[in-house]
Structure 1
Amino acid sequence: MARYAMVIDLQQCTGCGGCIIACMNENNLPEGVRWSGKRTETLGRFPFVRYHYRPTLCNHCENAPCVRGCPTRALHKAEGGITMHDPSKCIGCRYCMVNCPYGVIHYNWRRPHAEWRDNTAVIPGGTSTPAETVQRVGAKGWPIQNPDPDATYASIRPTGVVEKCTFCHHRVVNGQLPYCVEACPANARIFGDLDDPRSKVNQLLGMFRAEQLRAELGTRPKVFYIREFCPCAYEPGKGMVQADDVKQALA
């Protein structure tokens, strides 16, 4: 059985956020819920500034605290070590959210895409209501609903359960890449099998020193970060020493 992992090349990543949009479209995510996110940090003062951008998602840990702590086994391991969730078993206790050290599990307080069930027209008699628009395009929840994840919980989403990234399990089992990987315009995301020595992820992990988020906790994350984007430049030089300053320091 495969052990799937993702490598994110921070030197290639442009910070465009395309992975976030692709994930929302593929998995029919409602506004306010992101399975794929980002962390940004700016250090220094202009013009000497460093900017750090790090894409984030579920790490599909081998030793997943969310799986260990789930009292109903709603969170479980599926093919390739992907951490999956069964909404029919979820009781909404949110222990997984407390146990997850990465903050990537979301709780459904309300049914998603509720605004598309509204029967109020902006202009009565002149515009369609949101509910009529969904009906006319033949969608289930919202006008651009993607039917592909229907085989998984990604399109079920009842109120009172949790949800998170699945590495696009519905695509992987059909031999396709996760959609964030497929959609990345800079090819900064690489997906593959850690047990295949010829896989691209193993090639990259052999070439570059990799970082895992909070690896010291023993979760054994399956998302690896390599390299570091640095657009900064400086005027070449060897520095200097002021002789008078040295003399005063030694006096």
Structure 2
Amino acid sequence: MAKYGMVIDLARCAGCGACVMACKAENNVPKGVKWANYKVEYSGEFPNVEFSYIPTQCNHCDDAPCVEGCPAKGEALYYSDNGMTLLNPEECVQCKACVDNCPYDQMSFNDEEAHEFWRDEKGEEVAEAAGSPEVVPYYNPNRALTYQGVRGVDYPEKCTFCDHRVLVGGKEPACVEACPCKARIFGDQEDPDSELNQHLEQNEEHDAGVLGDTEPNVFYVNEYQNK
């Protein structure tokens, strides 16, 4: 069975944020929540200032603190056989332990009804014109194949590696497809000929953003070029 992972080549990254926007659009992520995000770090003194841009997301760790600390481990948060760390909202006890335990700060918690902005008469008109079964115009029926199409209140959530695209549609995650610089490479770690493994062999992996021994399945290579 495949074990999925992602390589982020910082030398290719342009810092454009296309990955962030693609993730929000594909996964119907509500305002104020980012499954794909980034960190910007500065060094030096003006006018000799340098900065680094590091895309971030759930690392789908093999030893994930969010999973290990979940009281419903294996039922709510669980390790899938294909390397993805996933959440079943129906089994979640809404304790927020996963949010507190993630050292990467990549778990979020919805404490308000998602997309409240669109839940009015105009939103209903847009949804009707789009043929959406939900009031929210951003509703993606493909996202609903494996997860919540529209977020419920009081649930944690995070990146899923776009499991609905990968497992159901045979596509790459939205952030990978949207990257104009091909800085993200997604593939099977068990396949020695995969582009992911080939890129890891050709480039030195480093621990950008890695905290503790969580054994992440998102790998960073090279350095961000800010000149």
TM-score clears 0.5: yes
Q: CA deviation at 1:36?
A: 0.1
- Measured against aligned partners, the alpha-carbon deviations of 1:10-58 in whole angstroms (never above 9, x if no partner) come to 1110000000000000001111110000000121123322110000000
Contact 1:70-1:95 within 8 A present in 2 as well: yes
Contact 1:168-1:179 within 8 A present in 2 as well: yes
SS at match of 1:80: coil
For the residues of structure 2 that align with 1:118 and 1:181, how far apart are their CA atoms?
A: 34
Contact 2:11-2:222 within 8 A present in 1 as well: yes
- Decide whether aligned partners of structure 1 residues 184 and 141 sit closer, same or farther in structure 2, where only a CA change above 3 A counts: farther
Partner residue of 1:187 out of 174, 182, 188: 182
Are positions 1:152 and 2:152 aligned together?
no
Contact 2:36-2:159 within 8 A present in 1 as well: yes
Aligned to 2:92: 90
Q: CA deviation at 1:70?
A: 1.1
Contact 2:7-2:186 within 8 A present in 1 as well: yes
For the residues of structure 2 that align with 1:109 and 1:15, how far apart are their CA atoms?
A: 30
Are positions 1:135 and 2:128 aligned together?
yes
- Decide whether aligned partners of structure 1 residues 231 and 33 sit closer, same or farther in structure 2, where only a CA change above 3 A counts: closer
Q: Percent of counterpart pairs with the same letter? A: 45
Contact 1:76-1:83 within 8 A present in 2 as well: yes
TM-score (structure 1 length as normaliser): 0.84
More off after superposition, 156-165 vs 209-218: 209-218
Contact 1:87-1:157 within 8 A present in 2 as well: no
More off after superposition, 129-138 vs 38-47: 129-138
Aligned to 2:200: 205
Larger Rg: 1
Unaligned runs of 5+ residues in structure 1 are: 120-128, 233-251
Aligned to 1:43: 43
Unaligned runs of 5+ residues in structure 2 are: none
Matches within 5 A, 1:167-246: 167-173=161-167, 174-213=169-208, 215=210, 217-232=212-227
For the residues of structure 2 that align with 1:27 and 1:141, how far apart are their CA atoms?
A: 16
More off after superposition, 155-164 vs 136-145: 136-145
Partner residue of 2:118 out of 105, 116, 124: 116
Q: Which amino acid aligns with 1:76?
A: Y
Q: Which amino acid aligns with 1:204?
A: H
Contact 1:212-1:223 within 8 A present in 2 as well: no
More off after superposition, 163-172 vs 76-85: 76-85
- Measured against aligned partners, the alpha-carbon deviations of 1:103-127 in whole angstroms (never above 9, x if no partner) come to 01110101211121124xxxxxxxx
Q: Which amino acid aligns with 1:50?
A: E
Q: CA deviation at 1:138?
A: 2.1
More off after superposition, 137-146 vs 23-32: 137-146
Q: Which amino acid aligns with 1:155?
A: G
Contact 2:28-2:150 within 8 A present in 1 as well: no
- Decide whether aligned partners of structure 1 residues 189 and 115 sit closer, same or farther in structure 2, where only a CA change above 3 A counts: same
TM-score (structure 2 length as normaliser): 0.92
Aligned to 1:71: 71
Contact 2:2-2:188 within 8 A present in 1 as well: yes
SS at match of 2:52: strand
For the residues of structure 2 that align with 1:16 and 1:10, how far apart are their CA atoms?
A: 12
Q: CA deviation at 1:72?
A: 1.5
- Measured against aligned partners, the alpha-carbon deviations of 1:149-184 in whole angstroms (never above 9, x if no partner) come to 111224142111111000000011132111100110
